[in-house]
Structures are given as structure tokens and as C-alpha cells.
Chains A and B, each alone.
Chain A
Amino acid sequence: MRQSLLALLAKEPAHGYELKQALETIFGGAYPSPNIGQIYVTLGRLEKDGYVRSVDVEQANRPNKKVYYITAAGREALETWVEEPSEGPRVRDEFFMKLVLAPMTGLSDRMALVNRQRRHYLALMRDLRELAERTDPANRVALLLIEGAMLHLQADLDWLERCQEDLP
């Protein structure tokens, strides 16, 4: 979240609630909507690190509003983030741990684990499909995010099939 807030602030100064709304509008329903508390905590940390500053803006009949803006150091940190390659996705190793270890304990057999996991993935896929159907077709960003999640899920399912074939 640090970098996404920095990126939004590099565009224009904003207060916490505007940042939350911007994230939701850009990424749509597939994005885990950040709660406002998280946003203020992150902004506080960024401020402590010298990446953002805030000013109090007076409002008529309401408490002052804190508007955040990015500093030169913040811009530099953002540039570094944009330029470095991003980590690839990590393999879903929790299920693989279960698959390898649980049969050794006699707790479950692999066939049952794989079958349950497959059904679970398909249930997630159905959710993603329904989410895509509900998403505004004009929101390319949100739809691509959902498509990315679908492709990852497909890879997980293909891997599951390989596990079922190759693990006795």
C-alpha cells in the first residue's frame, strides 16, 4: 500500500479518504478495499520516513482536514520502486505442504486432498467469473486484474492435476 499511496500523491495532494476512494475506483471490486485506518497508519509511516508531509486545511463548520503531499525523497523512493523488477508470484505452498505431509501423518489421503482443493479452486473461479460479469466493462484495469487472478487460478489447477498424476 505504501507505494500505491505515494503514486497517487505524486499525481496530486489528497486527504486520506480521497486516497481510499481513488484506489477503489481504479481497481474495482477485485481489489481488497483498504480500510481508512490502514490508510492513515500507512500515511503516518510515510510521513515519519520523510516521504510525505501534511498540511491542515481549514474547512467551514468542520474539523480541519489533513491534506498530504509527496516530498522529493518520496518521489525518489517511488522512482526506485517503479524501476526495479517486481517479484514473480510465489507458488501456493500451503496446499503443497499439506499434500506432501498430511498423508505421512495418516490424517488424509492425497486423492481426497486434491479433489477437495480442485472443487475449492472452481468455486473461486466461479466467484471471479461472477465478479467480472458485475464489473463495468469500461473499467479495463479492474477487468485485467480479475483476468490475472483467473490465469493464476488456472495455473494452480493445472499444477494440481500434475500433483495428482505424479504423487502416489
Chain B
Amino acid sequence: MTADAPVVRAVNLVKIYQTGGLPVPAVRGVDLTVEAGEFVAIMGPSGSGKSTFVHMLGGLDTRTSGEIWLDGRRADTLSESGWAVLRREKIGFVFQFFNLVANMTVADNVELPALLGGVSPRQARERREYLLGELGLADRAEASPAQLSGGEQQRVALARALANQPRLLLADEPTGNLDSRNTRDVLRLLGKVHGQGQTIVLVTHDARVASMADRVVSLLDGQIVDDGAIPKSRRRPLGAAGDVVELRS
């Protein structure tokens, strides 16, 4: 657990699903290193292995071969309970399909990880109030997940994942169910926590979300085909006289 170890290091990571018939190679030898404070967006067509990859990084899916190191510690060899501890201490995960606890209020869903992480109830409540406020959900705190729209559940899931100020935020399509306005709230919050040093690995199709990242990794057929920074755009600075839009007639 050296201080300057990368937060994530995947080495030749492979996942082959074998359910009945033919084996399905979902991730085929992925190498990825993410340094502390980096924001990495993962893009790629549907079925290219994005979800499988981040699930493995969060210990929610077992790898077929390869290594996963989190915060300088070997993680792929951990038992299920070992992973559970690691997740509780270090990882916030936003699932594509939310996975909120159905019989708990929104507030409790968000506070739970912080409480499990050992912070005081007061701190957990303050953090929850802050996060729900940022995401425009302050007035939904006492609702149950079933009473929320898909977009609201998705934002609650993000709040929950950030409750603990985790070492690593993993998110799978966190704006997949959001309209423009709610996406803007999520972008603002991601920008804020990233600015405060939050390490983020996030799967997205949404170019607005991806454009916030320091680095974009593209998957195709289970392999990385591109990995690099988003360049400075070559245009002159916008604002005074933009040329983004042509309104010609």
C-alpha cells in the first residue's frame, strides 16, 4: 500500500463467460493503470465489455485470468468477503441499474455506506444532505426507492457511491436514464468531486460526461483500442466569437 501506488492497475485482464454453450470472451487482455486523482472515461459500443470490465474492478464479477491491483494491493485473489471489505473501505460503485435497497429510505440508502465506513451519524447525515442537495434530490430524502423515477434512483445511486468519499468511484452509465437537466447536475457534482481529488473510472456513452474526463479509454470487442487524453481543441477560444454553430441560410 505504497503512498504513490496507482489507484487501479489491471494487468492482462480476461473474462470469459461460460454459461452452457459456447464460451463468450467479454474482456480479452486489458491493461489499465489509473493514478490517484485521475478521471478516466470508458467508451465503446454495446457489448464491448465495458460493464464486465468495471464489475471486475469492483470485485462484482470474477476474472478469468490476469491481475487487479487496487491502491497498491493485489485484489483479484481476494475472497468474496475480502472484496466486500475492500469495497466498503475504498470503492463507490454506481450500477447501471442502481441496486438501491428497496426497504430503506433514500436518506438511509445514502447514509449506510458512510456509517459502515465508520463515520459518525452526524457526519453521515451532513454528507448525505450535501450530496442529495447537489443532485436536486433534497426533498426526496424520506421517499423509498420504488417511489422514485429511474433518473432519481440513478442520482441516489451516485450519492450513495460518493457518501464515503471512496478512494475510487466506479460508475457504469451513471447518466443513462437522465434528461439534460439532471445530467447537468450530475456533471457538476462529478466535476466538483474530481476537483477535490476524487479518482473516477466511469463507463459512458454520453459525450458530455466523457468530455469531463482527463483520459478516454475505448473498448472494442473486449480490447482497448484507444487510450489517451482529450486534446486541447484547435479552435480559438470560444465565447467572444464562437464558431461552434453555423446558422447559415
Chain A residues proximal to chain B, CB less than 8 Å: 1-4, 27, 29-33, 81, 111, 115, 118-131, 134, 145-150, 153-154, 157-158, 161-162, 164-165
Distance of A133 from chain B, by nearest CB (Å): 9
| A129: B residues at CB distance < 8 A | 187, 208, 211-212
Q: Which B residues are CB-close (under 8 A) to A164? A: 45, 220, 225
Residues of B bordering A, CB below 8 Å:
43-45, 180, 187, 205-208, 210-212, 216, 218, 220, 225-226, 228-233, 235, 238-249
Closest residue on chain B to residue A151 by CB atoms: B180
A residues less than 8 Å from B211 (CB atoms): 122-123, 125-126, 129
Report which of B44, B218, B229, B247 forms a contact with A31, defined as CB distance below 8 A.
Answer: B247
Given A118-B43, A123-B233, verify A111-B207 contact (CB < 8 Å): no
How many whole Å from B196's CB to the nearest CB in chain A? 18
Please state if B245 and A32 are interface contacts (CB–CB under 8 Å). Answer: yes
- State whether B231 touches A120 (Cβ < 8 A): yes
Bound-state Cα–Cα, A123 to B212, Å:
10
Contact B216 A29 (CB under 8 A): no
Chain B residues lying within 8 Å of A147, measured Cβ to Cβ, are 180
Residue of A127, A130, A146, A162 most packed against chain B (CB within 10 A): A127
Residues of B within 8 A of A153 (CB): 207
Q: Is the CB of B244 within 8 A of A131?
A: yes
Distance from B136 Cβ to chain A, minimum over Cβ atoms (Å): 15
CB distance from B36 to the nearest CB of A (A): 22
Contact among A123, A134, A145, A157 for B245, CB-based, below 8 A: A145
Can you give 5 contacting A-B residue pairs, CB < 8 Å? A120-B231, A127-B244, A131-B244, A149-B244, A165-B220
Per the bound structure, the CA–CA distance linking A165 and B243 in Å amounts to 31
Is A29 within 8 A of B205, CB to CB?
A: no
Report whether B233 and A124 are in contact in the complex, using a CB–CB cutoff of 8 Å.
yes
Query: What residue in chain A is nearest B235 (Cβ atoms)?
Result: A127
**Would you call the interface of chain B mostly helix, strand, loop, or mixed?**
loop
B180's nearest neighbour on chain A, judged by CB, is: A147
Is there contact, CB below 8 Å, between B210 and A125?
yes
Closest chain A residue to B233 by CB distance? A123
A30: B residues at CB distance < 8 A: 238, 242, 244-245
| Structural contact, B240 and A122, CB atoms closer than 8 A | no
Question: In the complex, what distance in Å separates the CA atom of A9 from the CA atom of B242?
Answer: 24
CA distance A144 to B218 in the complex (A): 29
Residue of B with least CB distance to A121: B207
Residues of A within 8 A of B229 (CB): 119
Q: Which of A115, A118, A121, A146 is within 8 Å of B244, CB to CB?
A: A146
**Are B225 and A115 in contact (CB-based, < 8 A)?**
yes
Cβ-neighbour of B218 out of A118, A123, A125, A148 (below 8 A): A118
Residue in B closest to A130 when the chains form the complex, CB atoms? B238
Q: Are A150 and B245 in contact, with the CB atoms below 8 A?
A: no
Asked whether B242 lies within 8 Å of A1 as measured between CB atoms, the reply is: no
Which of A123, A128, A145 has a CB less than 8 Å from the CB of B232? A123
Q: Find out whether the CB atom of A131 lies under 8 angstroms from the CB atom of B240.
A: no
Q: Are B44 and A161 within 8 A (Cβ)?
A: yes
- Complex Cα gap A81–B248 (Å): 13
**Residue contact A126 to B244, C-beta cutoff 8 Å:** no
Beyond the given pairs A118-B43, A119-B228, A130-B238, 10 more chain A to chain B contacts, judged by CB atoms under 8 angstroms and listed by A's residue number, are A27-B247, A31-B242, A119-B216, A119-B230, A125-B210, A125-B211, A128-B244, A129-B208, A145-B247, A154-B208
Q: Which residue of chain B is the closest to A131 with respect to CB atoms?
A: B238
